[in-house]
Amino acid sequence: MATIAELGIRYRSGEATPTGVVRAYLERIEALNPQVRAYFTVTRDTALAQAEAAEKRLKAGAPLGLLDGIPLAIKDVICTKGIRTACGSKILEPFVPPYDATVIARLGAAGAIILGKTNMDEFAMGSSTENSAFFPTRNPWDLGRVPGGSSGGSAAAVAADLALGALGSDTGGSIRQPAAFCGTVGLKPTYGRVSRYGLVAFASSLDQIGPFARDVRGAALILQAIAGHDPLDSTSTEVPVPDYTAALGRGIEGLRVGVPAEYFIEGMDPEVEAAVRAAIDVLKGLGARTEKVSLPHTDYALAAYYLIAPAEASSNLARYDGVKYGYRAAGGKDLIQMYGRTRAEGFGAEVKRRIMLGTYALSAGYYEAYYGKAQRVRTLVRRDFQQAFERVDLLVCPTAPSVAFKLGDKEDPLQMYLCDVFTIPVNLAGLPGLSLPGGFTATGLPIGLQLIGKPFDEATLLSAAYAYEQVTPWHTRAPELA
């Protein structure tokens, strides 16, 4: 299994060609995707055409892009011109965007090749990719378990070597949690670091696009390609983008690492806690200085999130009415009945649950009691992080309280929501967070280690993650798939 950086070296030496690599990946997808079900759409013709163009650039000696010839997968919540984008929902199944999201345009400029669109929880609402309207995705490490969510298809594609890297979106942990469950690197950038133009909205103040890769350098390369200000996105910031790969070798001697007490809770998997504490010891051995910190409002973050995110979803998803695009139910006697039937048939149970919850929280008489109060709690959560970062450079903690659970195990929505208890506060505060392989259970399931950084300081996160990765073997393991 090559990495993104290794494949780039092979291209330049003539050891490999983009067309040969892409054909090999398409064959592997054809053989293994029926088991893993990571892809919703495979763009064979597009990928081969992009590979041929990359090969011509190589042969001509033209200046190469950052990701030239690198085959990637794209979460099906990101608009791709001429390629259907269903967001895991029946209501958008026939939708084909007439434009590319900014991140897709930037990947194209960097020379990347798109192998296809990956399965996901419907409208990114879920933590297991079981909420897809079409089929569940399976974890490559154990096909009877979930890959996490909502970006489970992207994480599974990278873990199963069905793509060298991928894009996902993270609203409350939807990149980091599946990265942890599938044993990959997953990075949620700072809110505003990467353009959201062309990302189908779930919760607009929380959503952020980010990369999956097999190793930290691969994630850094993808982030380098997609980061930066975009005038098409009003929430995109004009903060300069550093050279992320240049930061990888600088070491972590003297780095101040905070260990939040609230992220080591009763009821979490003992193997997860043991692995994370062992990882903290590794960081200390590399020269980092660790200290305990407190994030006292962590207990309220989950409740605040499940008011803010559904409230924004109820507004964003109102556009799906069967009139302009997407699915339309037959048989409505008037416009109102057509609306009702379309939404009843087009949306799944979890999406309906969140729309109703959000609509209630925004309704007259309840807005201040629920949504307004949740936003004030969000401010307190953000202040907790600000105070912690006055003392430390980054935080280290588990990505999730458990490893991947079995398909169908968490039918209770509240049990599912608790999977994101360690990731949600990062989204509320708009911070960057990274999950990387931090060990394995006795039964061979990956454990995720989460690093949380200061706003727009992805470079420090990547540097610390890279230092840890270089002295541990976890990222070199791969699932065995027949």
Question: Is 285 part of a structural domain of the chain?
Answer: no
For the cut 80, the answer to whether the pLDDT of residue 305 exceeds it is: yes
- Looking at the structure, do residues 95 and 197 belong to the same domain, yes or no? yes
Question: Is 372 part of a structural domain of the chain?
Answer: yes
Residue 11 falls in which region: left (phi positive, over 0), alpha (psi -120 to 50) or beta:
alpha
The last residue of one of the domains, among 377, 406, 439, is 377
- Looking at the structure, do residues 346 and 405 belong to the same domain, yes or no? no
- Looking at the structure, do residues 126 and 156 belong to the same domain, yes or no? yes
- Looking at the structure, do residues 199 and 68 belong to the same domain, yes or no? yes
How many structural domains are present in the chain? 2
Angle between the N-to-C axes of helices 216-226 and 458-470, in degrees from 0 to 180, rounded to the nearest 10? 160
Evaluate whether 226 touches 212 at the Cβ level (below 8 Å): no
- Looking at the structure, do residues 166 and 120 belong to the same domain, yes or no? yes
pLDDT in tens, 385-396: 999 999 999 999
Two structure tokens written together for 352: 């309906």
For the cut 90, the answer to whether the pLDDT of residue 328 exceeds it is: yes
- Looking at the structure, do residues 136 and 8 belong to the same domain, yes or no? yes
* Mean of pLDDT values over 125-130: 97
Residue 454: give its domain's CATH number: 3.90.1300.10
- Looking at the structure, do residues 164 and 219 belong to the same domain, yes or no? yes
Q: How confident is the model at residue 476 (pLDDT cuts 50, 70, 90)?
A: very high
Evaluate whether 295 touches 260 at the Cβ level (below 8 Å): yes
Predicted model pTM = 0.97
What contacts 198, CB < 8 A, 6 or more positions away? 78, 79, 97, 99, 100, 101, 102, 103, 104
Query: Which are the catalytic amino acids?
Result: 75, 150, 174
Question: Is 152 part of a structural domain of the chain?
Answer: yes
Interatomic CA distance for residues 247 and 299, integer angstroms: 34
Q: What is the pLDDT of residue 1?
A: 75
Question: Is 281 part of a structural domain of the chain?
Answer: no
The last residue of one of the domains, among 342, 377, 412, is 377
- Looking at the structure, do residues 131 and 155 belong to the same domain, yes or no? yes
DSSP character string of 69-82: T-EEEEETTB-BTT
- Looking at the structure, do residues 123 and 156 belong to the same domain, yes or no? yes
The last residue of one of the domains, among 349, 377, 405, is 377
Cα 69–Cα 71–Cα 73 angle in degrees, nearest 5: 150
pLDDT in tens, 211-236: 999 999 999 999 999 999 999 999 99
- Looking at the structure, do residues 365 and 409 belong to the same domain, yes or no? no
Helix then strand then coil, in percent of the chain rounded to 5, is 45, 15, 45
Interatomic CA distance for residues 250 and 226, integer angstroms: 23
152-161, 220-229, 259-268: least confidently modelled range: 259-268
Two structure tokens written together for 131: 């909420």
Q: Rg for the chain (alpha carbons), in Å? A: 21
Using CA atoms, how far residue 376 sits from 209, 305, 373, 380, in Å, is 25, 11, 5, 7
Question: Is 333 part of a structural domain of the chain?
Answer: yes
- Looking at the structure, do residues 366 and 395 belong to the same domain, yes or no? no
Q: What is the pLDDT of residue 430?
A: 98
pLDDT in tens, 416-460: 998 999 999 999 999 999 999 999 999 999 999 999 999 999 999
- Looking at the structure, do residues 346 and 223 belong to the same domain, yes or no? no
Q: What is the pLDDT of residue 222?
A: 98
Question: Is 269 part of a structural domain of the chain?
Answer: no
By residue range, what is the domain housing residue 345? 298-377
Evaluate whether 278 touches 348 at the Cβ level (below 8 Å): no
Interatomic CA distance for residues 311 and 357, integer angstroms: 7
